[in-house]
């Protein structure tokens, strides 16, 4: 009997990459490979990389480098690298020169070719490096191997046209391309039928969904409306929203649909209008705060989270203090804080007044500590409240764990069904977990 070949995929970066790894896995499974949990057991190792910050790239270089020994002891091991890093020519050169044991290199635009590359490599055993410079038509014939039985990710668009001055994404992911609305709706229908309970629509900027399609009915608001009207006990999420494109219509659709999650990720990046301008974000502090006010008025139980970059070129103490005051004013449920990282080819790369690392560290720590203490205060207020909880699994000790709409972990010490929504009343908070009882 032929031995079953195994694969191991290491994913870096955002949800988009996590989902694209499901596509890589789908191709591997269709070729007869099975997943393994340890790279030492694998016949194929794929690194799906991220280049959003230097730290992400250094991690990849370190982890790929560490494979050298394994590859020596296992010469038939196939090592493949793809993702955002390989869309940059100079990074591909580094992989080719420093890590000669890497066998297959491809990019984000030709991700769907991986299956062909693997077949080819298995025939010829010749290293194969192919990265497409430009995006092509969206390929709808993708095999997927989903990693969760409850959460499904669905791409609605690819690429980004915004060119925030710090960001590498528009360079490595190309221009915005929206999927056909009917294709998306059909995919979601299939997922609901299969029993998925949380559907997350993915795009770099979901609010500009449909802008590249010549049909005024193809909008993000209409897409949300159509999906939220489907039958089934599911919740609909989406990420990421650019504040400049979040329309009143979208806010109304979210407010009016019980199936649409009230957790909205709305990256502000900075609380200083001066910095926002030089980031090319196309809104001011005042606009953003107005938008938040409007959202809170229409969706009183909204749970807002955000991304913030500290230490952007030219950011003074006053600018950073404006960020801190905005975070307090919005009272976010969660803040993802990042230290600015210079990216080759972006407008901000050559800006004057780059900020020293020690100041970036100090600022990001202050921001994250503030966020932590805000979450603690908010959690205290949840005691006594009834929340909707999706039960995810039963632990060895017999208790069940679930998750709220806003992503908080909940412990339930009663008999409940997995993959089912319940209303539960919060009794206590332990660490960052909510202890709750089912409301009958
Ligand atoms: N440096 C630091 N953080 C960045 N992000 C994007 N580009 C950079 C960069 N050059 C952050 C932004 C974005 C999140 C995904 O990553 O906050 O919203
Ligand atoms: Fe990057 Fe800005 Fe596009 Fe987001 S909207 S991916 S931060 S360029």
400 CB less than 6 Å from ligand 1? no
pLDDT digits 0-9 by tens, 85-128: 999 999 999 999 999 999 999 999 999 999 999 999 999 999 99
Answer positive or negative: Cα dihedral of 86, 309, 302, 390. positive
Probe target for ligand 2 pocket from 16, 51, 170, 281, with the most ligand atoms within 8 Å of CB:
170
Domains defined for the chain, CATH in brackets: 5-130 (3.40.50.2300), 149-257 (3.30.750.210), 262-379 (3.30.750.200), 386-438 (2.40.50.140)
- Cα–Cα distances in angstroms (integers) from residue 264 to residues 150, 241, 268, in the given order: 20, 8, 12
| Closest ligand by atom to 281 CA | 2
367 CB less than 6 Å from ligand 1? no
What was the pLDDT predicted at 136? 80
Q: Average pLDDT in the 389-401 region?
A: 96
pLDDT digits 0-9 by tens, 273-317: 999 999 999 999 999 999 999 999 999 999 999 999 999 999 999
Taking the centre of ligand 1 as the mean of its atom positions, its distance from the CA of residue 335, in whole angstroms, is 13
What was the pLDDT predicted at 2? 67
Residue 12 contacts residue 56 (beta carbons within 8 Å): yes
Return the ligand 2 atom nearest residue 161 CA: 3
CA dist 50 and 37 (Å) reads: 21
What pTM was estimated for this model as a whole?
Answer: 0.94
Within 8 A by CB and 6+ apart from 95, the residues are 64, 81, 86, 102, 105
pLDDT digits 0-9 by tens, 221-272: 999 999 999 999 999 999 999 999 999 999 999 999 999 999 999 999 999 9
Q: Could you give the dihedral angle defined by the CA atoms of residues 331, 332, 336 and 341, in that order, rounded to the nearest 10 degrees?
A: -50
The residues facing 421 across adjacent strands are 390
Residues in the chain: 440
């Amino acid at each position: 009997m032929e031995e079953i070949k195994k694969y191991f995929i290491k994913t870096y970066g955002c949800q988009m990459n996590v989902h694209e790894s499901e596509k890589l896995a789908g191709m591997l499974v269709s070729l007869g490979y099975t997943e393994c949990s340890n790279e030492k057991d694998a016949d194929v190792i794929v690194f799906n990389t991220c280049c959003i910050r230097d730290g992400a790239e250094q991690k990849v270089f370190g982890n790929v480098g560490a494979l050298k020994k394994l590859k020596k002891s296992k010469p038939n091991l196939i090592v493949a690298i793809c993702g955002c890093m390989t869309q940059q020519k100079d990074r591909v050169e580094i992989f080719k020169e420093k890590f000669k044991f890497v066998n297959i290199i491809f990019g984000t635009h030709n991700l769907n070719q991986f299956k062909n590359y693997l077949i080819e490599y298995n025939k010829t055993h010749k290293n194969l490096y192919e990265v497409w410079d430009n995006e092509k038509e969206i390929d709808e014939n993708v095999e997927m191997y989903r990693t969760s039985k409850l959460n499904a990710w669905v791409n609605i668009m690819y690429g980004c046209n915004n060119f925030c001055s710090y960001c590498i994404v528009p360079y490595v992911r190309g221009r915005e391309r929206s999927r056909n609305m009917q294709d998306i709706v059909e995919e979601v229908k299939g997922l609901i039928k299969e029993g998925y309970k949380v559907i997350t629509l993915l795009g770099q900027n979901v609010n500009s969904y449909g802008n590249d399609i010549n049909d005024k009915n193809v909008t993000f608001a209409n897409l949300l409306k159509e999906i939220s009207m489907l039958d089934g006990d599911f919740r609909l999420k989406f990420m990421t929203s650019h504040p400049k494109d979040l329309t009143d219509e979208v806010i109304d659709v979210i407010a009016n649909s019980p199936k649409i999650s009230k957790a909205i990720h709305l990256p502000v990046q900075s609380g200083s209008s001066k910095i926002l301008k030089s980031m090319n974000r196309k809104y001011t502090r005042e606009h953003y705060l107005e938008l938040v006010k409007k959202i809170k008025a229409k969706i009183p139980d909204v749970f807002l989270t955000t991304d913030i970059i500290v230490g952007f070129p030219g950011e003074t103490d006053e600018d950073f203090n404006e960020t801190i005051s905005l975070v307090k004013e919005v009272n976010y449920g969660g803040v993802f804080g990042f230290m600015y990282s210079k990216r080759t080819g972006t407008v901000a790369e050559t800006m004057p007044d780059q900020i020293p690392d020690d100041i970036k560290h100090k600022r990001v720590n202050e921001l994250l500590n503030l966020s932590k203490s805000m979450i603690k205060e908010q959690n205290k207020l949840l005691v006594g409240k009834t929340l909707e909880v999706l039960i995810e699994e039963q632990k060895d000790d017999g208790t069940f764990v679930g998750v709220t709409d806003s992503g908080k972990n909940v412990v339930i010490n009663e008999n409940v069904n997995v993959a089912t929504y319940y209303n539960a009343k919060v009794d206590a908070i332990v660490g960052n977990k909510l202890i709750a009882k089912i409301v009958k």
